[in-house]
Amino acid sequence: MHPALRYHHTQFGAVIAVSLLLAAVLFAGLGMMTGLMSLAALGPVLMAAFLALFFSLTVEIDATHLSFCFGTGLIRQRIPLAEITDARPVRNAWIHGWGIHRTPHGWLYNVSGWEAVEIVLASGKRFRLGTDEPQRLAQAIRAATGSG
């Protein structure tokens, strides 16, 4: 870990990776069986692109920001620690699934599992970061923000 980082963790999205790989094989097979070569080529290419975007979720905390990014880092967020008022471990309902989307608890950023940390901002907005180490992440956020 870089000396300036207070926290760094990457969670691999096994279910997402396997699902996208199976979908790529399915598209290729269907395309070849039906003679739709565009489906046989385009399906796996799209699934590979989604895989590159969503195969993991990396969370970092440095002296001033909470940052997180998916996969290759094209999709990322950076939140000033000064804007965070609370962080607590939570469990997502199975219906909330994985990926990036709105839930009744605010935005969810998740690649695997049901565990997350709910983060509350000074504006009152909330979002959840999926993680396989919710206690450790919540503690790191509270320590970095001075709220715990």
Tell me the per-residue pLDDT of 56-106, one tens digit each, with 9 for 90 and over. Answer: 999 999 999 999 999 999 999 999 999 999 999 999 988 888 889 999 999
* Close Cβ partners of 13 (under 8 Å, ≥ 6 residues apart): 54, 55, 56, 57, 98, 111, 112
What pLDDT, on a 0 to 100 scale, did the predictor assign at position 55? 94
Identify the CATH number of the domain in which residue 129 sits. Answer: 2.30.29.30
Q: Report pLDDT for 148.
A: 64
Question: Domain tally for the chain?
Answer: 1
Give the whole-number percent of the chain exceeding pLDDT 90.
Answer: 74
pLDDT value of position 45? 92
Per the structure, the complete domain to which residue 8 belongs is given by: 1-148
Which pTM value belongs to this model? Answer: 0.87
